[in-house]
Chains A and B, each alone.
Chain A
């Protein structure tokens, strides 16, 4: 073994990385009050309503509430449609993020703004817009119905579409940010090795931004899971077909708040379990 074969013989970018703050020195060096107080306030603000929900949960009737078939039906549909919406968002949203981050075209700034529009649009309006576009009488939906006999409103596919509509911007923004932070020279390196732009994307860029895609997918999934307005407007509310958990919770709230709390609790528990699981797996490994 030559001396340079010893790891650590060089101080290139590949070795000698500063070790991340394991020493904990950052924690000991007093936290400034102007950051600490609002931070704690924010935490309390975010957790208090959840705590209240737990405190007011009718624990005695909870088993009865949770054994009803309708709850599981809604939960199953929610998980299924949120996952499908996330898949749609990833398949279509990652390429869009790439276009926004890596290509130049006129009006790109405008396109980026338009992409984020569903974030600010009230979801109910989004649902109406989807009806106007994809409904039985909509701009595109008219032809879908006439040519293929496909109508999307009041179907589970409609739920997926409504959820993807509100969730995809989260993914696109997250992935675009990751792409912008990723070193584009890796793509150049791939090009000099004979990779076309698509091959470079598939074999180099995509693996490099995988953590960002995962984070974006988790955000999109969470948003889709909680989606209410666009779903009920575009897909309606029918148990087993289009009634997701948030719809069930809202309608239960009308005359049986206890049931609503129980349903919310189930949704919370499931999402915490899934998000915590994903976080451990993907988001902390980088």
Chain B
């Protein structure tokens, strides 16, 4: 029995003074059910993969990982890949807080470190892609933004990610490296927030990831800038210690790191590691 299940049971026992007892029974039987199915497949020693893999992945991976998940399920009938996309920090906090996950794919080594520091990872994390910053601008580039320096123009409304989230930290690194001091109108809580402001034309430019610009389609345009090379984000992936379906999870990680997986990821705008 995993720790999280034990914890769940304990909490439910506490709460279950009244009618909650019924729900507790239901919850317990569900978790032990999935446990059993993975257990039997392990015990049989069959090479056939089965069961559900739960993947916690950075929000920027949503499009490409969803595609890879479908591919994986097709290649291994009987398996199911379920995703939880979100800010890497929140995901890391969930994992250290006991959330049931098999795989963690983070948008920065720093956030992955939050998990490895607590010894929640089963092995050393491996970098599988990298992401580079780009300037997202309004379609048609009405403000003629061609470089990072152009963002300093007066009257231009620029949004950055907050320094506490990976895209903000990276943008700050690039700005520092080029000696530009930029005052944005807002430090957004995540990269999607920054991008939304440009999509809705509330801001004129945002410093975001290439993959985000690509995912936004023709609502924004991307402007590459050389300083972004100084702030390339590594994306690490790791199997988690408490994985309930380690064999299938490992197979999914292998798919992500294979040439096939890389093709999907670079198609979304990621760089090879």
A contacts B directly in the complex (CB < 8 Å)? yes
Spell out A's residues near B (CB within 8 Å): 37-38, 41, 128, 131-132, 135-137, 153-154, 232-233, 235-239, 242-243, 247, 250-257
Does B124 touch A at the CB level, under 8 Å?
Answer: no
Sorting the interface of chain B by its residue count into under 10, 10 to 19, 20 to 34 or 35 or more gives 20 to 34
Asked if B269 lies at the interface with its beta carbon under 8 angstroms from chain A, I say no
In the complex, residue of chain B having the shortest beta-carbon distance to the beta carbon of A239 = B187
Nearest residue in A to B164 (C-beta to C-beta)? A254
- Answer whether residue B43 sits at the interface, using C-beta atoms and an 8 A cutoff: no
Can you list, as one digit per residue, whether each of B130-172 has a CB less than 8 Å from chain A (1) or not (0)? 0000000000000000000000000001010010110000000
User: Which residue on B lies nearest to A141, using beta carbons?
Assistant: B202
Report which of A128, A136, A236, A253 forms a contact with B186, defined as CB distance below 8 A: A236
The answer to whether A136 and B185 have CB atoms under 8 Å apart is no
**Are A251 and B157 touching (Cβ within 8 A)?**
no
Assess A233 versus B186: contact at CB under 8 Å? Given A154-B157, A254-B165.
Answer: no
A41 touches B17 (CB 8 A): yes
Given contacts A137-B202, A153-B202, contact A251 B186 (CB under 8 A): no
B89 proximity list for chain A (CB < 8 A): 253-255
Distance between Cα atoms of A41 and B202 in the complex (Å): 46
CB distance from A109 to the nearest CB of B (A): 33
> Given A153-B202, A251-B162, A254-B164, do A236 and B18 touch, yes or no (CB 8 Å)?
no
List the B side residues contacting A242 at CB < 8 Å: 186
Partner of A136, one of B17, B110, B202: B202
Instruction: Tell whether, in the assembled complex, residue B164 and residue A252 are in contact, meaning their CB atoms are under 8 Å apart.
Output: yes
Assess whether A135 is in contact with B162, with CB atoms less than 8 Å apart. Answer: no
Question: Contact between B200 and A237 (Cβ–Cβ < 8 Å)?
Answer: no
User: 14 A-B Cβ contacts within 8 A?
Assistant: A37-B17, A135-B200, A153-B197, A154-B203, A232-B188, A232-B193, A236-B188, A237-B187, A237-B188, A238-B184, A251-B189, A253-B93, A254-B89, A255-B110
B201 touches A237 (CB 8 A): no
Find the A residue at minimum CB distance from B201: A137
What are the nearest 8 A-B pairs in CB distance? A236-B186, A254-B164, A154-B185, A137-B201, A254-B89, A153-B202, A255-B164, A135-B202
Q: How far is the CA of A238 from the CA of B165 in the complex (A)?
A: 15
| Nearest A residue to B200, CB-CB | A131
B164 touches A251 (CB 8 A): yes
Tell me if B186 and A237 are in contact (CB < 8 A).
yes
B87 within 8 A of A: yes
Instruction: Give the Cβ gap from B220 to chain A, nearest Cβ, in Å.
Output: 14
Residues in A neighbouring B110, C-beta threshold 8 A: 255
Bound complex: CA A251 to CA B187 (Å): 10
Query: Do the beta carbons of A254 and B162 come within 8 Å of each other?
Result: yes
Q: Is the CB of A236 within 8 A of B185?
A: yes
In Å, the complex CA distance between A131 and B89 comes to 27
Point out which of B87, B159, B187 has the most chain A C-beta atoms below 10 A from its C-beta.
Answer: B187
B189 to chain A: which residues have CB within 8 Å? 232, 237, 247, 250-251
Q: Between A and B, how many residue pairs show CB distances below 8 Å?
A: 71
Q: How far is the CA of A255 from the CA of B88 in the complex (A)?
A: 11
Q: Bound state CA distance, A238 and B90, in angstroms?
A: 21
Q: How far is the CA of A131 from the CA of B188 in the complex (A)?
A: 15
Interface flags for B176-213 (1: CB within 8 Å of A; 0: not) read: 00000000111111000100110011110000000000
A sample of 14 more A-B contacts (CB under 8 A), given A135-B201, A137-B200, A243-B187, is A37-B18, A135-B200, A153-B202, A233-B196, A236-B159, A237-B186, A237-B187, A242-B186, A251-B162, A251-B165, A254-B87, A254-B89, A255-B89, A255-B164
A257 surroundings in chain B (CB, below 8 A): 93
Alpha-carbon distance A225/B201, docked complex (angstroms): 28
Known contacts A135-B202, A153-B202, A254-B89; decide if A238 and B186 are in contact (CB<8 Å).
Answer: yes
Collect the chain A residues with CB atoms within 8 Å of residue B202's CB. Answer: 131, 135-137, 153-154
Cβ contacts under 8 Å, A253 to chain B: 89, 93
B197 touches A236 (CB 8 A): yes
User: Most chain-A Cβ atoms within 10 A of its Cβ — which of B17, B159, B165, B185?
Assistant: B185
Residues of B within 8 Å of A243, CB to CB, are 187
Contacts of A41 in B (CB 8 A): 17-18
Which residues in chain B, 66-116, are within 8 Å of chain A measured between CB atoms? 87, 89-90, 93, 110
With A37-B18, A255-B164 already in contact, the answer to whether A238 and B200 are too (CB < 8 A) is no
Please name all residues of chain A whose beta carbon is closer than 8 Å to the beta carbon of B159 when the two chains form the complex: 236
> A251-B189, A254-B89 in contact; A237/B162 too (CB < 8 A)?
yes
Compute how far the CA of A137 lies from the CA of B201 in the bound complex, rounded to whole angstroms: 6
Is B185 within 8 A of A238, CB to CB?
yes
Are B17 and A132 touching (Cβ within 8 A)?
no
Which residues in A have their C-beta under 8 angstroms from that of B203? 154
Q: Decide yes or no: A233 and B18 within 8 Å by CB, A137-B201, A154-B185, A238-B185 being known contacts.
A: no
Contacts of A233 in B (CB 8 A): 193, 196
What's the Cα separation between A153 and B193 when bound, in Å? 13
Residues of B near A154 (CB, < 8 A) are: 157, 185-186, 202-203
Q: Which residues of B contact A247 (CB under 8 A)?
A: 189
Q: How far is the CB of A146 from chain B (nearest CB, A)?
A: 14
Contacts of A38 in B (CB 8 A): 18
A137, A232, A253, most chain B CB atoms within 10 A: A232
